[in-house]
Amino acid sequence: MNEFTAGFNPTLRISSKVVFAALIALGWVLAVLSQSLPEPLRVKMEVLAVLTAALSALAWALDQRDTRLGRWFIISALVGLVLAAHYWLHLPGALAWLSVPVILGATLLGPAAAVGTACGEAALLLLISVWGHGSGTTAEREAISVTLGATFTLLGIFYIMHHSISQTIGYSEAYFERAQVLLEQARNRKAELEQALVDLANANRQLALAGERMATLRTIAEEAQKAKTMFVAKVSHEFRTPLNMIIGLVSLMVETPEMYDVVLPPEMRSDLEVVYRNCVHLAGMINDVLSLTQMEAGRLVLHRERVDLRQLIDNAATAVRPLVEKKGLFLRIELPDGLPQVYCDATRIQQVILNLVSNAARFTMQGGITVQVEHDEQHVVVCVTDTGPGIPPEDLEMIFEPFCQGSRDIWRDKGGTGLGLSISRQFVQLHGGRMWVKSTLGVGSSFLFELPISPPVGHAVRPGHQIMEDWILRERAFRTDQAGVAEGSAKPRLVVCDETGAVYSQLFGYADQVEFVAANDLSRALEALRQCPAHALVLNAATPDTLWSRIEEARAQVPDTPIVGYSVPQPVARAIEAGAVGYLTKPVTRAQLEEAIRKLGKPVRKVLVVDDDPDALRLFTRMLRACDSTLSVATASDGEQALEAIRDAPPDLILLDVIMPKMNGWQVLERLRSEEGVAGMSVLLVSAQDLIEQPPESPLLVAALGEGLSLNRLLRCSVALSELLLAPEDAPGPEHSRTAVALPA
């Protein structure tokens, strides 16, 4: 049994208090009935009523002390009262009431008490019948027999009912207990389910938080990557300022020693040449760092064309041969017959070959270097093998990482920044190739890279774009199959009208994937469209207002050609808008300075140099006098001094540094615009920060076609443009040929 069935008794029981109350009521009824009886019988009835009440009170008292004793007493008292009513009062049928104690015994004490009560009554009746009245009358014996028969019959019926009820109660109890178990299990399952739901909700919240954290961490990583790229670019730009000083002064000493009124001894001239050469090398390394940052930022553009790989290898070998001969090494070049031309950026691939060959020459002490080329129908493989010390196995995995030079001291002693291999591999990867290395310690190393001979064949453009009125069939010259496929692969054609000159030079970097036709003004662009149709007309203007007027004019002239408009100003537009005539990026050479003065188109007699660096003032002063010894050069170390010098003696040309304390170059230009009497002066901004290296951007992108665009076409263009604008920046490739018009923007 569980807590719900504990103390439950399946037998039929009633409260003894009900019996006591019934006996008291019976005594009261007997007392009332006695009033209607004759005198002798009335007294007996009253005595019986009092006796009934007294026995009830006594039974109640016993029940308070001992329930079982009290109940047996009341059963016995009832038996005695029934016998008294029969034998003392001679009430007819009184013996029939003997079944009542049996029933009370069953209900008060249980089946065993009922059986005991019935047996006791039977024995008592037999004794009374035999000993109390002899053999008794026939009627009395019949009454006793009937009473006993009825009592035991009632007892049998009660037993059968009790057994059935007990069995039913037992079944019910078992079912109840089973139901309680199932209910408890259901409660446990419900609790487990609720806990599982809570855990699932927590897991979902944790997953959502993890997703948010991942997005945040990704954003942080991207921002860190951008910050690193910007930091490297800014630091590299700042290196240009001292390099400008060193390279400029040393070049003046070597090229124009007469400025110093001395004759340089051969040893000093040789040392200065070493200084100059190392400074140029340092400038080259800075350019490598900038190239690396441009590749990481996705801003490096390849200028691909058909290139003779043999010529690139010969050029690299010519540049490295003096070092190889000085060290007594051999340099072999093994090229196969019928080497096809490779579709690549000649400058970048020659830089890769030169870097690999020069590395081999630097690290090889004996033996030599071998350059081998192999090719199949689709790829060409260049292998540069040396007989140097080799690369440890633990360094092979990270040899192409930036700034990695290996873990051995022999690698560190050879100089360099560790950027050459990293940049070379990225150049090769930009061409769709791969680079790898094989090395054995004490034997040598082999650096290999693989390039595709031809670009993948893209989708053909719409028919008719090559058809012209004066079209004449010209059979192409015989070429290899791969070259023919590459030449025959059509490219999207765009007519670019770039009035500012800021876009076309950047778009031309994608000339291997898109055919561009340049036009300086709209009339020439429209003429180019009349001669040969194009996929789109690209318009670029310095301001959005100008752009919209150009688009309206073009829509009326070429209603069947899509028009795409940008608003990309010139890279130095800010300087020109501020009042300057140009922008020079450090390090500035004497030739660049002479060219800038020549482009002014007017005589220059007085020059003011404004820079917070005294060394820069000294350098530019000497460079200007080297350009023209008749120039009058004045200097100012900050913006206030420059403004005072301008008011006192307005110069013809001002070389103005951008970054200065207190008042920078932009603020000086703003002050000059408000000054009177300075209209004839020309200002050249000079800084280590290169405006041209900043990627061109347009605040808007306008698309137009003929008389207008239908709602259906507007919807499709909106969906396509949204996908393109939200996609990561990438150069248009063969897989994007159908949307190549929009991607270069």
Residues 223, 149: Cα–Cα separation, whole Å: 107
Q: Tell me the Ramachandran region of residue 585: left when phi exceeds 0, alpha when psi lies from -120 to 50, beta otherwise.
A: beta
Q: What is the CATH number of the domain that holds 713?
A: 3.40.50.2300
Is residue 150 domain-resident? no
Is residue 553 domain-resident? yes
First to last CA, the chain: 84
Last residue of a domain, one of 669, 687, 705: 687
Q: Is the same domain home to 560 and 588? A: no
Q: Is the same domain home to 532 and 590? A: no
Residues 115, 97: Cα–Cα separation, whole Å: 16
Q: What is the CATH number of the domain that holds 314?
A: 3.30.565.10
| Distance of alpha carbon 350 from the chain centroid | 38
Q: Is the same domain home to 500 and 606? A: no
For the chain, how many structural domains are there in total? 5
Largest Cα separation within the chain, whole Å, is: 177
- Of 574, 516, 566, which is closest to residue 540 (Cα–Cα)? 566
Residues 146, 450: Cα–Cα separation, whole Å: 124
Q: Is the same domain home to 488 and 519? A: yes
Q: Is the same domain home to 168 and 228? A: yes
Burial class (CB in 10 A: 0-12, 13-18, 19+), 5: middle
Domain residue limits at 323: 305-452
Whole-prediction pTM value?
Answer: 0.45
Summarize pLDDT for 295-333 with one digit per residue, the tens: 666 556 677 788 899 999 998 888 888 888 888 999 999
**Token code pair at residue 682:** 């020309």
Please say whether the beta carbons of 460 and 491 come within 8 A.
no
Q: Is the same domain home to 367 and 275? A: no
Q: Is the same domain home to 21 and 125? A: yes
Last residue of a domain, one of 117, 136, 155: 136
Q: Is the same domain home to 32 and 127? A: yes
pLDDT, residue 488, reads 42
Q: Is the same domain home to 511 and 410? A: no
pLDDT, residue 1, reads 45
The three-state DSSP-derived secondary structure of 106-160 is: HHHCCHHHHHHHHHHHHHHHHHHHHHHCCCCCHHHHHHHHHHHHHHHHHHHHHHH
pLDDT, residue 191, reads 92
Is residue 471 domain-resident? no
Is residue 425 domain-resident? yes
Question: In sequence order, which residues have a C-beta less than 8 Å from that of residue 369 and are 6 or more positions away?
Answer: 324, 329, 330, 331, 332, 357, 360, 361, 384, 385, 386, 387
**Strands 702-704, 563-566: pairing kind:** antiparallel
Is residue 465 domain-resident? no
pLDDT, residue 411, reads 44
Q: Is the same domain home to 224 and 321? A: no
Last residue of a domain, one of 687, 706, 726: 687
Summarize pLDDT for 529-581 with one digit per residue, the tens: 888 888 888 888 877 888 888 888 888 888 888 888 888 776 566 677 777 88
Is residue 23 domain-resident? yes
- Of 233, 311, 316, 239, which is closest to residue 279 (Cα–Cα)? 239
Residues 449, 428: Cα–Cα separation, whole Å: 7
pLDDT, residue 617, reads 86
Is residue 462 domain-resident? no
Q: Is the same domain home to 170 and 24? A: no
Q: Is the same domain home to 132 and 38? A: yes
- With a cut of 50, which residues of the chain have pLDDT below it? 1-11, 133-135, 407-415, 457-489, 692-693, 731, 733-745
Angle between helix 16-33 and helix 99-108 axes, rounded to 10 deg? 160
pLDDT, residue 462, reads 39
Is residue 316 domain-resident? yes
